[in-house]
Each structure stands twice: as structure tokens, then as C-alpha cells.
Chain A
Amino acid sequence: MDTKKTYTVSIYTENNIGLLNRISAIFQRRHINIESLNISKSEIKSVSRFTLLVKVTEDQIKKIIGQIEKQVEVIKAYYHLDEETIYQESCLFKLSADLLIDNDEIQQIINNNTTKVINIQKDFFVLEKSGNKEDIEKLYHTLEKHGIMQFVRSGRIAITKDKMEISTILASYNN
């Protein structure tokens, strides 16, 4: 009855060893696959930010957020739909250096400003692209026929449109 949707989960935490294990265990226990995961610093000093992507129902995500927030070292967790966030992924392609010479399609891709050559060697060059998953998939299919030597895509990173009041929560602790 409740349909599955892609949710971006943002978790503000203390920066402690073992917390990743604790958080991933919450998903594992419920047999939920984490589609992507990124951990970085946040806008607040000494506070880490987890960004992860899951496909679940709204009922499931609410319960999961409850379980995440229950962890002692989690300050606050949020969930958002795609339209509530501005999000990006980044990817790198390692391609043969031969493609740089006399290949119109590759030249067009490089010149249309949505990709960037970040490294050129004698045998290969590295193409970088940021965007949403669909754009990256499209590029992947285009490049596939030319031969991809290596490919890697990052986890999603996302900024939410609404406020995240972590500073307020931490300020209320200090008072």
C-alpha cells in the first residue's frame, strides 16, 4: 500500500570510531540496502555528516530515523525526497589517450562544458563529471562503446532546501 521512494538521509553525528558500524547495522538488520553513502565534515566544527540514499517506504524511513536518532552519538537525523534537496554525484572515467585524437564524439563531450578532463597521461586521460545519477548513466552509456578502462562514481551529496537546526540543538545543550 505504501510505495517505496528514494530518500536522502542526512545524519549529524559526533566524529567517533564505530558509529558507521552502528548506523549501517540499523539498515542491515532490516534487510535494507544502502544505495550510496558519504561521510564528511559538516558546517559545524567537530560534527560529521552522513549522507545516505535508500529506497524504502515512508513508514519504514520514519522508523529508521527513530532508530538512528536513538544512537547516543547521533545529534539529529533527517530524511528528504529528491525534490526537497539539491544533490550531486561525481564520477571519474579512465579512457584511452587514443580517444583524444580524431574522435569527434569524445571531442564534443569534452567541449560541452558538462565534463572536465582532469588528467592526461601518455596512455590515458581522466574525465570527471558531476551531476545527477541519470546524467552520469547517460554519459556512461555513450562512453561504453569507446571502451572504459576504469569507472567510479561517488555517493550522493545533498544540501536540503529547508533549514537543519543543528546549531540550535547544540546551543541549547551549552546553555
Chain B
Amino acid sequence: METNTQTKEKKVAKEIQAISGAEAVVKSLIAEGVDLIYGYPGGAIMPVYDEFYKFQDKIQHVLTRHEQGATHAAQGYARATGKVGVAIATSGPGATNLITGIADAQIDSTPLVCITGQVASHLLGSDAFQETDIVGISTPVTKWNYQITKASEIPTIIAKAFYIAKSGRPGPVLIDITKDAQFEMLDFKYKKCTSIRSYFPVPKVDFNKVKDAANLINNAKKPMIVFGQGVIIGEAETEFKNFIEKANIPSASTLLGLSALETEHPLHFGMVGMHGNYAPNMLTNECDVLIAIGMRFDDRVTGDLSRYATQAKVIHFEIDPAEIDKNVKTDVAVLGDVKETLAQILPLIDKNNHQQWIQKFKDLYQIEYDKIIQKDLSPTKEGLTMGEVIHQINNVTKGDAIVVTDVGQHQMIASRYAKFNKTRSNITSGGLGTMGFGLPAALGAKMGKPEKEVIAIMGDGGLQMNIQEMGTVFQTQSAVKMVILNNEFLGMVRQWQELFFDRRYASTVMTNPDFITIAKGYHFKTKLVTKREELADAVAEMLASKESYFLEVRVEKEGNVFPMIPTGASVSEIRLD
């Protein structure tokens, strides 16, 4: 009897070990398959950092130069790999510096788990050193957040955090852990979370809606598809392609949907929205059935809602019920995971060719090509254009690189012209429009996908918002290719000042440092291009490099991005000049 009980106890003891809360944090991360995290240490998170030291063979912790860089790097990693990105910081300023990245991840549906240290629980509410109410501050920009004050909560809460971040429509989760909970001992046992009773991440598909959608599509004379990041997040690229090819429906992407379908696909007619392509914007107001797939009708996509596709029946494939009828009234809402719903609709769809309708897209493309694209990509004027830089990059990469952009004119130009062959190769800050996103996000993407060429395209404004992350690129020896399109202006704001504020260039002129010298300080290979004839060789040299490389291109100072839908205008009022 006695020996029996003893063996049993030993067995249980083996399964359940008493460890500190800090160790439990790291072991929980390991149990979730995390091997790379970004962060910055400080007082309230030091016990966890001590465990990182112990477990450095299992988890690589990358020290960014600012906590904002940690969140953007985690985002870049998540967007490139599809896995959950992890960022960690201390209490107070460490935690508040995460907020921009968290807000960015929330609006762009990027799975993140952020962990912050917090002052000891007996000090909560006492205005202690580096105490801030990060749970209160992060509430409106997180999918879920939680403050842990007892070590015993750590494994279950971290398991919940990963499940919530990744499932359904992904998003950021913040877990705040008091310092005493990091020291406290607990009996550690990890169990992954697979469900929460109040949380319904994927709505059940109503097959009748799928049939209704198929009926509308089969009877459509002029159908058009707008696809978003939902196709990528749902890993539904194949189902999506099968669907559009069977019915031969012209398709256009949102900013974040880019790379879900290869750029060169004959049914890919570019991007919708403010600086999107002429054909899909114009024809949004001419199609008879508008099929929205995994997108959310952002105002930068729709322009004036009262004049957006009012002639069309709207079908919306979407995982988040709150998006249905939020901006555009839907005739048929197909709720569910697009991987499932697109597979279900495929056999119900008739083969079609829509030749005449597709010809309209081609005709309008030709107009845009003659008036804008040709001049952007192969200019004859003196100044270098942003477009020709992207064009040169395409010539070398053939669309195989991951292109990470910052925010502004260069972002729109890159999104318009960069070629994408593979999914998850367009990484940009869409909803929040966060300047400073590009460099750390590119680092995260490169570390997540080291076998891929990763090119960060940035403006001189955005680079300087997180320029300190050059230090992280250098320390990690990540072969990120950094391209600065320098026009010595905050270009997009300047463009608006030119068009809508009588060229009053208030605070958009940049007096820049010598970027090449700065890059040399981090021991990057560098090149400065000021003339057209130097560009092709410089781009080729950069892309041939096995190490990180910093290429600055001085582009024309007052170039504009066209086409453009001015704020408040309808999509069909898109301006070509």
C-alpha cells in the first residue's frame, strides 16, 4: 500500500513541478512553440529576464532599441510567418511604449502576445515607481488583456492569450504580471487552451447563405471581387484562386490583401482605394455584384460611402460578424472562415468568362498606364521617381522578396508597383498608418523567414521615427535590405498641402542628416544613388549582398502619388492628375 502511494506521488510530482512565476512564463512560452521574442528589460520584468538567461538555448530574446520597435518586429514576424509574435517590456514607460504597435496590430488583425511587468501587487494604485495602469490604457486597443497577480494563474492565462491572439480574427493580447507573481512559486502544469465558453471565434457557416451568394454570382453579368487580408490570415489562397478562376471574375486587392494572389495573375487588376488602380475603383461603381472577401470596407477603400457601389448587390465573406453592414450594407453575408466558405461555394459556381466586362478593366488599365504608370516606372524627366526604384527591385527579385513598407508616398508607390509571387510577402501598416513601422517590421520578417529576401522600403520621415532599430538589425546580423526613398519632405502630407492647402508647406520640409554616415556607423554596406544611371547597378549590388545593406536614393522632391481619390469623393471620381 505504502509503496504504491509513494510511486503515485512521485509520478504526479514529475508532472507538476514547483517553479517560480517567472520560470513559468518562459516555460509557458516554450510550450506554445515560441523560440523568438522581442523586448526590452527593466525593473518590473527582471525575474522573467533572468529566466530568459537560463533558457537562452530554447528562446532567443532580441533586444530592440525601443519598446515600439519590439511590437513592430513581433508584427513583422507574425505577418511573415503566420505565427503569434511576442513582445515583452517592463512596467510604466516600457509598457506605454508598446501601445502604438498594439494598436497597429489590433486594426490590422495581427496576432501578438505582449507581456509587461508590473509593480508588486501590494503597490498597485499607489503611484509606485514605474507604475502605470497598462490594462486600462491598452483595453481599447487589445482583443483581450489581463493582469496576473498570482503565480498560479500564469500557465492558464498565457495559454488563453495565445489561443485568443491566433483564433478567429486575430489580434493583440496583453498580459500584465505583477513582480510578486513572478517571484511566487507555483505547481507548473501546462495545458493549451482550445476553447473559452464566452468566445466564438469562427461563426458556423449557414449553407443557405453560400447558396444565395452562388445564385447572385451565377446570374451576375458584371461581377467584381475585392479581397483583403482575410484570404491570407485564413490561409485560403488556393480556395480563393480556384473560385475566381472558375467564374473568371476580375479581382482587386485591398492594401493588406496584396500578395494573397500573385500580382501577375490575369484576373488581378491591382488595388482598390485612395491610391489604388483606376480600373477597379471606377468599375466598383459599375459592377452588378460586388463580392468582398475577408476585407472590412475601410474608408480609404470606399471613399464616400453614399456613392459607393450603390448599384451593386453586395456579397460579404467575413469571419467577424461585427463587420457585416458596418460600413456597406450587404445583400448576402456569408459568415465563416473563408477557407471553408470559399471551398463550399466552388462547386455551386458556374464556369464563366465575362470577356466583355474584363475588357473594360483592361481598357481602363491602359488609360492609367499611359497617363501614370509608364511615367512612374520609366520616367524621362530629370528627377528619379519612387516608381522606378520599385521597378528596378522587381527586375531583380521577380516578385520573390518580402516587401516591407513604412507609411507615406513610398508605401503607396510600393503597393502599386511591387510584384508579389508568394503570399505573406507584403507587410505594411494599413489601418493605423504607423510611420516607423517599416524598419523593425522588416527585422521581424527577416528573422521569421531568414531564407527570404526582405526589403524594407522607407521614406526619410518614417526611417527617422524608429531609426534606432538599425542597432537591432546590426546586433542580430539580420540581412535586411534597407531602401530609403529620400525626398527631403514628409511627402504625403506635402502632397496634400500642394493639392488642398495652396502649397503652404507647414512643417513638412526635412533637413536630414547624412543617412549614409549613420548607416556606416552601424557597419552596414551602403550606397547613395543620386542619378538614374547609377540605380540599376546599386539595386543589383544590394540584392546580391548576403549581409544587410543600406541604399539611399535621392528621389524627386515634389513627386505626387496618382491616381488619387480625394477625401469625401466617390471612388469613381478618382483623379489621374
| Residues on A facing B (Cβ under 8 Å) | 13-14, 17-18, 21-22, 25, 29, 62-63, 66-67, 69-70, 72-75, 170, 173-174
Contacts and interface: CB of A to CB of B under 8 A. Distances in A.
Interface in B88-140: 135-136, 139-140
Contact of A72 (B144, B321, B324): B144
B139 A62 contact: no
B183 to A, nearest CB: 22
Contact of B197 (A22, A66, A173): A173
A22 B141 CA distance: 10
Given A66-B321, A72-B144, A75-B198, A18 B326 contact: no
Contacts of B325: 62-63
Contacts of A67: 322
B143 A72 contact: yes
Closest 5 CB pairs of A and B: A66-B322, A173-B197, A75-B198, A72-B144, A25-B140
Given A17-B147, A70-B320, A173-B197, 4 more contacts: A63-B322, A63-B325, A73-B198, A75-B198
B271 interface: no
B12 interface: no
Contacts, number: 47
Given A67-B322, A72-B164, A25 B139 contact: yes
B321 A69 contact: yes
A9 to B, nearest CB: 15
A70 B322 contact: yes
Nearest to A170: B197
Given A18-B139, A72-B143, A63 B198 contact: no
A21 B143 contact: no
A22 B164 CA distance: 16
A62 B135 CA distance: 27
A173 B195 contact: yes
B199 interface: yes
Nearest to B163: A72
B1 interface: no
A29 B140 contact: yes
A141 to B, nearest CB: 40
A25 B141 CA distance: 10
B198 A74 contact: yes
A42 B135 CA distance: 26
Contacts of B322: 63, 66-67, 69-70
Nearest to B197: A173
18 contacts: A14-B197, A18-B139, A18-B145, A22-B140, A29-B140, A62-B325, A66-B321, A66-B326, A69-B321, A70-B320, A72-B143, A72-B144, A72-B164, A73-B144, A73-B198, A73-B199, A74-B198, A174-B197
A131 B144 CA distance: 38
Interface of B: 135-136, 139-140, 143-147, 164, 195-199, 320-322, 324-326
Contacts of B135: 18
B136 A21 contact: yes
A46 to B, nearest CB: 10
Contacts of A21: 136, 139
A11 B324 CA distance: 20
Contacts of B164: 72
B161 to A, nearest CB: 10
Contacts of A63: 322, 325-326
A22 to B, nearest CB: 5
A147 to B, nearest CB: 39
Contacts of A25: 139-140
A14 B198 contact: yes
A74 B135 CA distance: 18
Nearest to A47: B198
A170 to B, nearest CB: 6
A25 B326 CA distance: 18
A56 to B, nearest CB: 15
A72 B198 contact: yes
A73 B147 CA distance: 15
Nearest to B164: A72
A17 B144 CA distance: 12
A72 B326 contact: no
B276 to A, nearest CB: 26
Contacts of B321: 66, 69-70
Contacts of A69: 321-322
Contacts of B320: 70
A17 B164 CA distance: 18
Nearest to A66: B322
A24 to B, nearest CB: 10
A18 B139 CA distance: 8
Contacts of A173: 195, 197
Nearest to A23: B139
Nearest to A28: B140
Nearest to A18: B135
A92 B340 CA distance: 56
A73 B146 CA distance: 11
B198 A22 contact: no
A67 B322 CA distance: 6
Nearest to A74: B198
Contacts of B140: 22, 25, 29
Nearest to B195: A173
A12 to B, nearest CB: 8
A22 B198 CA distance: 15
Contacts of B136: 18, 21
Contacts of A75: 197-198
Which residue among B135, B164, B199 has the maximum number of chain A CB atoms within 10 Å of its CB?
B199
A17 B325 CA distance: 31
